[in-house]
Structure 1
Amino acid sequence: MRAYNETWIENKNVVSQAERWHRRSLLTDDQLTAVRKAYPVGFQTMNGFLEIGLFIFTIIATGGVFLLFVELLSIDDSSIFGLYCLLFGIGLAILNNVLIRRRQFYRNGVDNALVMATTALMVGGFNSQFLDDGSLWQWCLVALPLLAAVVWYYGDTLITFIALAVLYTCLFDLTLEASFGRTLLPFVGMVVSGLLMQATRMIRQRAYYDDAVSLTQWVALAMLLVSVNYYVVRETNWLLIRSTLRRSGVMSPPEIDLPWLFWLLTVGLPIGYLWQGFVRKNRMLIILGVLGVAAAVATIRYYVGILPLNVHLTLCGLFLIGIAVGGIRYLRSSRYGFTDVPDEDSPDEFLISSDVITAAQVAAGTSGHDQHDNVKFGGGKFGGGGAGGGYN
């Protein structure tokens, strides 16, 4: 059992998709009403600015109460403070669950803040209780199971990001403990990123974890680009050995091992992202591929620059403006599954299919079948490249 009602989360996605189609006049008012009735959502809805305000207020209030009891109880011993953090965190977790059940919160600011506070207190309490003088990777190793449990229970995006950061930090710090750790470090980043991507593909798709899985893919692909970039690898290596080499009179970064491999990956991996992004119509790969190409160009210019920096930037800017203007004009009408039209206003031909029409009829009760037919409304999703995605 998890914190939020999974059925309501799935229904929320279905209703959101139906509302998008309704704005494109693909569903009538009656059909949209029928969809909302067939897929009820009981979560409390709030304005986005109100949710941000509630998040900030809850964090401040929680911190104030926490510090108040620290003063009242005169806690100054580290072990007692760690126990206090654990108990306070457990209390916040219970309070959060009660609010979620009774107030039907779903990422409304209050519950997000309480999840953050609970996780911070539990992680800090465990580390201070059981690992007072440990190294960084040991602290991270203790924190990872707790963070994973929070992600499993809440599906929280921010905790997912923190868990990924802790995972990379743990493995990188552990790698540097070895004598050959500096050489191995970029390869550890590659392997971890690849394994994370493979894990997200093996996980059964569930609406409850959509945001967490999507963020994991973004982070894994981005970290893979960073791990193979020649500039990042060389400068990181220099930061790790700079103090030692400067005492020997070396004032500039030395060449790294296997430089040809990292130069090849610096240029080749972003191009591979772009190729796969266009083939799969995956927006994530296209965006990261463009950023990777930009990083590759900047890296090449940094080490083998010919033109002055101002001329280089001017030419790159003119080139990008030309690409943007040409792309917008070329994609005014859909071509090969891509379009410049925003997702909310995608051409009808990308949305209308027999599956979509049947699903709308089932939800509206116009097909003569029971509403819980084998055809499930809301199973489709847009592809990453625009409006060219398929419906599953």
Structure 2
Amino acid sequence: MKAYNETWIRNRAVVQQSEQWNRQRLLTDAQTEAVRRAFPFDFRQTNGFLEVGLFLFTVVAILSCYLLPATAIDGLLDDRHLSSLFNMGFGVAIGLLGRFLIARRQLYRNGVDNAFALMQTGFLAFGFNQLLPSDMTIAMYCLCTLPLLLLVLWYYGDTLIAFITVATFYTFVFNGVLQFSAGKAILPFVMMVVSAVLFGLVRRIDRSPYYADPLNLIEWVALIVLIASGNYFMVRELNGLLLDVSIRQLAKGVAPEIGLSGLFWLLTFAIPAAYLQQGFARKNRMLIILGCLGLIAAVMTLQNYVVLLPLNVALTAGGMLLIGLAVAGIRFLRRSSGEGGHFRNGFTDDPDYESPNQFFVNVGTAVATQAAAGAQHQPKEGVRFGGGNFGGGGSEGTY
């Protein structure tokens, strides 16, 4: 059994989407109210600022409850095994208390439950690693911790836990490759391949609302690591940091030239360009954003090693060029008919409202909206959403 009510989470996603469409005048007030009645949920609602405050307050409270007995019991933190059992026991207690509060207070990502999930994971992982031999590599510690993190991620579906999990995974790969004699030479290629495989696997996972945010985060991280692993600046400077201290002193703080430099210069520009190409072809905003940022980083890398212009001139010229390209791109994509906000090839600069698939595939939604439409004596032609074009999140069409 998971921490949250999955049905309520699906209902919450559907209701939020219906409210967005209501603000866009695609659903009437009666239809939106019918959706609320058809998809009830009872989570406690808060705002973003209150969530941050509750998160910080809960973290401080949990740490205070931990430090009081930990410092009061003589020698508790000095004994490795005793400290491990105490930390894991405290993590279990935090998890049980968090589960009780989530069920009793109907919490869902309002700060308190996020803090309990994070602190429980931290204490369990720390206590578990204390039981492991002290002569293990960082990669082995990460590998042993990954199953625990994946279990907690499955239970909570929390974005912070997802970030910790993917960071632990990449640390395992990074440190594990460096254990080999040719590790530094193959490290960029391994990181690129691993990131591409991870992105492909995540894309194949069914996007239920319970795991939508963690999976989106993992996609972002995988694509960022992929583009960074092929960037000439990242590869060269990281290679310099991994050199022995004596070699770094001889180089006087300048990272030496790397092998296959021409290939990495090519990848520095080719990977962001591929992101952009796929982003425009698939109408994927994530790929477009990362492709633009990657090309900016590529130009900055070129400026860093091949000084084309003074820094102040380069920044000014680069800013003007980016503004010009943005304006030119908007003018190029805009339809010749001049319809405000609508672009050729399915692009738009309207706010992007991504809709959950449940809104379309769940018969209950259609029944609820159709019933509301019938109550207003609308023609019985199926669900009437007010008419219009839709192009959010890579989807397009009319309804």
Q: Give the Cα–Cα distance (whole angstroms) in 2 for the partners of residues 122 and 226 of structure 1.
A: 32
Structure 1 counterpart of 2:342, from 327, 330, 334: 334
The one-character-per-residue Cα deviations of 1:27-74 (angstroms, maximum 9, x if unpaired) are: 111111110000011211122222211111110000000000112222
Matched, 1:171 2:179: no
The one-character-per-residue Cα deviations of 1:152-204 (angstroms, maximum 9, x if unpaired) are: 11111011011111111111111111111100110111111011111112212
- One-letter identity of the residue aligned with 1:60: V
Q: How does 1:1-40 map to 2 (within 5 A)?
A: 1-40=1-40
Give the drift of 1:77. Answer: 1.4
Contact between 1:31 and 1:360, CA under 8 Å: does it hold in 2?
no
The one-character-per-residue Cα deviations of 1:209-241 (angstroms, maximum 9, x if unpaired) are: 000110010000010000000111111111111
Contact between 1:281 and 1:389, CA under 8 Å: does it hold in 2?
no
Gaps of 5+ in 1: 369-374
Q: Give the Cα–Cα distance (whole angstroms) in 2 for the partners of residues 160 and 19 of structure 1.
A: 28
Contact between 2:348 and 2:391, CA under 8 Å: does it hold in 1?
no
Structure 1 range deviating more: 75-84 or 239-248: 239-248
Q: How does 1:41-56 map to 2 (within 5 A)?
A: 41-56=41-56
* Residue aligning to 2:140: 138
Contact between 1:283 and 1:383, CA under 8 Å: does it hold in 2?
no
Matched, 1:205 2:210: no
Structure 1 range deviating more: 215-224 or 46-55: 46-55
- One-letter identity of the residue aligned with 1:281: K
Q: Give the Cα–Cα distance (whole angstroms) in 2 for the partners of residues 59 and 247 of structure 1.
A: 43
Structure 1 counterpart of 2:216, from 205, 214, 217: 214
The one-character-per-residue Cα deviations of 1:222-278 (angstroms, maximum 9, x if unpaired) are: 100000001111111111115232466676433222222211111111011001111
Q: Give the Cα–Cα distance (whole angstroms) in 2 for the partners of residues 251 and 4 of structure 1.
A: 51
- One-letter identity of the residue aligned with 2:351: P
Change (3 A) 1:222 1:139: same
* Residue aligning to 1:364: 369
Q: Give the Cα–Cα distance (whole angstroms) in 2 for the partners of residues 247 and 343 of structure 1.
A: 51
Contact between 2:51 and 2:112, CA under 8 Å: does it hold in 1?
yes
Structure 2 counterpart of 1:283, from 285, 292, 301: 285
Structure 1 range deviating more: 240-249 or 289-298: 240-249
* Residue aligning to 2:337: none
Q: Give the Cα–Cα distance (whole angstroms) in 2 for the partners of residues 308 and 248 of structure 1.
A: 28
Change (3 A) 1:317 1:280: same
Contact between 1:245 and 1:251, CA under 8 Å: does it hold in 2?
no
TM-score after normalising by structure 1: 0.88
* Residue aligning to 2:266: 264
* Residue aligning to 1:228: 230
* Residue aligning to 1:371: none
Q: Give the Cα–Cα distance (whole angstroms) in 2 for the partners of residues 121 and 216 of structure 1.
A: 23
* Residue aligning to 1:295: 297
Contact between 2:346 and 2:391, CA under 8 Å: does it hold in 1?
no
* Residue aligning to 1:241: 243
The root-mean-square deviation of aligned C-alpha atoms, in Å, is 2.6
Give the drift of 1:329. Answer: 5.5
Change (3 A) 1:90 1:231: same
* Residue aligning to 1:113: 115
Give the drift of 1:305. Answer: 2.3
Q: Percent identity?
A: 49
Give the drift of 1:360. Answer: 6.2
The one-character-per-residue Cα deviations of 1:301-321 (angstroms, maximum 9, x if unpaired) are: 222222222221111111112
Q: Give the Cα–Cα distance (whole angstroms) in 2 for the partners of residues 306 and 131 of structure 1.
A: 53
Gaps of 5+ in 2: 335-339, 375-382
Q: Give the Cα–Cα distance (whole angstroms) in 1 for the partners of residues 151 and 365 of structure 2.
A: 37
- One-letter identity of the residue aligned with 1:362: V
Q: Give the Cα–Cα distance (whole angstroms) in 1 for the partners of residues 244 and 397 of structure 2.
A: 52
Change (3 A) 1:232 1:320: same
Contact between 1:14 and 1:39, CA under 8 Å: does it hold in 2?
yes
The one-character-per-residue Cα deviations of 1:315-369 (angstroms, maximum 9, x if unpaired) are: 111111222344456644311211222236x9xxx9xxxx79x98652234378x
Count of equivalent residues: 372
